[in-house]
Amino acid sequence: MGIGEVTKAVFLDRDGVLNRFTMRDGTPRPPAGLDELEVYSDAADALRRLKQAGYLLIVVTNQPDIARGAQTRAVVDGINAALGAALPIDEFLVCAHDDGAQCACRKPKPGMVLEAAARHAVDLRQSFLVGDRWRDIDCGAAAGVRTVFIERGYGERAPEHAPDFVAESLGGAVEWILGNAP
């Protein structure tokens, strides 16, 4: 990186942003394993465009099923590895806690974003977070990045902080990011 250049990032939620979710009991859930993993068709091209524009791509994902005993860390890591092989992701950060843990990393708290930003010297004012749930948007707002909400029709509560943009897909989110970069 040259003198005067800053590191900028796009922080991405995983399930519902990069790959399809599964609806169970009226709630969007992550794939149970690699056999359920389906990457969205626009993800590779959208992320390639962000990389070409100079963004670090960092996944920040809540995976509370690990704490709940409904999923293993090995399966979550396997899904992340498969996504990393298919997409130009620079780093995956996983919160394996449930709400009861009161950790700093579980979204809507900004711990994962702030940790990655510190490690990579990211300028948060020039960065974005893309997510499909209220927790993602509130996390991005708390971290000081601009936010893009991908509307998947879950019918969940709205975030406390309005997103900067609402998109129908990751491709639409990237189009807006590239058109609104500082």
Active site residue 13: yes
Which residue in the list 13, 136, 138, 164 is annotated as catalytic? 13
Tens-digit pLDDT profile for residues 104-158: 999 999 999 999 999 999 999 999 999 999 999 999 999 999 999 999 988 888 9
Instruction: Say if residue 99's pLDDT is above 80.
Output: yes
d(CA 65, CA 142): 24
The domains found in the chain, sorted by start residue, are: 8-179 (3.40.50.1000)
Active site residue 42: no
Instruction: Say if residue 165's pLDDT is above 70.
Output: yes
Which residue in the list 15, 132, 136, 138 is annotated as catalytic? 15
